[in-house]
A and B are shown apart, each in its own frame.
Chain A
């Protein structure tokens, strides 16, 4: 896979560069900041750009850089790496796009297998969310959120959590030790309960299910008095 990398911490950047090469990926561009990477990628396409969130241009250059890169290369996959897994950043990332996008903790992409799996899923159009964050978002015992999720059964919440991690039906079935057929049924029920209708594509509705959930939480928190 052809990848580009921007990270201002030299130690982590060099480490990731070595790991990417060891995994057999072609690192087309490697920069210490967003502006530099935008310049490097002006003329050459890559499959996925790996961006540190907190880098120049400060304060969160990764997000600004992603928007500029997507404006030039709409199909570009984006992997955001951060020292923190926060729902605040996840919402901002999902505002940039809900296709071919990922958000993971820096120390969690520390193996060839995980790194390649993450990049492949992003290049295939999936959303990849740090499992710890996805779990926290779905399981937090919040009153406001309960109202949205209360309509869902416990099993459906398990399925939604795994959907939030960006897993496929087969992946979810494997995790829950049920058949893919059963997962399909649960997902259909979730779509129904969240009011997501059949006119959108499956992948699109999966994302909307997760977003509906996240937004409902956000709306109830920011509503005006």
Chain B
């Protein structure tokens, strides 16, 4: 785990929607930050435990069962050719399911398409699996594995939640690169429109350790900025 960076400037917390307070608000903001950092850390461990369970209850269990089925086949080899073919086919089908489950878990760790093709293709694939209507506007620019991973899972987090009651607005996601003023340091800028603005604080926690921020605008637009390589 990386070392916690310098405390977030008070300004960035006020941008999250809390009204900018007088000098006395600063300690409160710090404790808010601490509470959120703790919650983020806890969620990370819950996520890891969930992934381990998914491996255990899914792929591992299927493979164990396959070992038994192969043992049965060895013990009682079907005399009938058709039965034998059916038994082998069933085992191959089961292996396909094992691989599908491993692909699911791999996708939750770090989607292979994100690594190979970048945010645009990876987000489009994710959008296509989503029941809501999602529009992705992203070029081919690359931002490095950390910023891309954080941005990808930020969008996924926003899409996972149910839309607000009675609303099924189309979601729009824009990905842009931004160069620093004096040419040094690039920033990945992510705009998410059409999701509940309350996601901004979760997204902020997810990108904070990378020096990133997430803020909500008046129109409910979430703007995420992540410094990148």
Q: Which residues of A contact B115 (CB under 8 A)?
A: 59
> B128 and A224: CB pair below 8 A?
no
Q: Which secondary structure dominates where chain A touches chain B?
A: loop
Q: Contact at B125–A88, with CB atoms within 8 Å? A: yes
Q: Does B179 contact A (CB under 8 A)?
A: no
Whether A143 contacts B99 in the complex (CB less than 8 A), given A87-B128, A111-B92, comes out as: no
A42 close to chain B: CB less than 8 A: no
A88-B121 CB under 8 A given contacts A140-B128, A142-B128, A221-B135:
yes
- Hey, which chain B residues are within 8 Å of A220, CB to CB? 135
With the chains together, A218 CA to B125 CA distance in Å? 11
Which B residues between 107 and 146 are near A, CB-CB below 8 angstroms? 112-113, 115-117, 120-121, 124-125, 127-128, 131, 133, 135-138
| In the complex with contacts A59-B116, A83-B103, A225-B174, A88-B124 CB distance below 8 A | yes
User: Cβ of A110 < 8 Å from any Cβ of B?
Assistant: yes
Which residues does chain A contribute within 8 Å of B99, judged by CB atoms?
83, 105, 107
CA distance A142 to B116 in the complex (A): 25
Q: Is the CB of A107 within 8 A of B95?
A: yes
* C-alpha gap A62/B213 in the complex (Å): 39
CB distance from A117 to the nearest CB of B (A): 15
A107 and B96 in contact, given A83-B103, A88-B117, A141-B131 (Cβ under 8 angstroms): yes
Interface string of B187-199 (1 = CB under 8 A from A): 0000000000000
**Chain B: interface secondary structure?**
helix
Tally B residues with Cβ within 8 Å of A.
Answer: 25
Size of the A side of the interface (Cβ < 8 Å), in residues, is 25
Residues of B within 8 A of A86 (CB): 113, 121, 125
CA distance A142 to B136 in the complex (A): 13
B131 surroundings in chain A (CB, below 8 A) = 141
Q: A88 CA to B117 CA in the complex, in Å?
A: 9
Task: List CB contacts (< 8 Å) of A70-125 with chain B.
Answer: 83-84, 86-88, 105, 107-108, 110-111
Pick the contact of A108 from B96, B128, B133 — CB < 8 Å?
B96
In the complex, what residue of chain B is closest to A84 when comparing beta carbons?
B112
Q: Does A26 contact B (CB under 8 A)?
A: no
- Which chain A residues lie closer than 8 Å to B103 at the CB level? 83-84
A225 contacts B113, CB within 8 Å? no
A213 to B116, CA, bound (A): 25
Chain A residues with CB under 8 Å of B116's CB are 54, 59-60
In the A-B complex, the 10 residue pairs with the smallest Cβ-Cβ separation, listed nearest first, are A143-B133, A88-B121, A59-B116, A107-B96, A221-B124, A110-B92, A107-B99, A140-B128, A225-B137, A221-B136
With A60-B116, A223-B137 already in contact, 6 other A-B pairs whose C-beta atoms are closer than 8 Å:
A87-B128, A88-B113, A141-B131, A143-B133, A220-B135, A225-B137
Q: Which residues of B contact A (CB under 8 A)?
A: 89, 92, 95-96, 99, 103, 112-113, 115-117, 120-121, 124-125, 127-128, 131, 133, 135-138, 170, 174
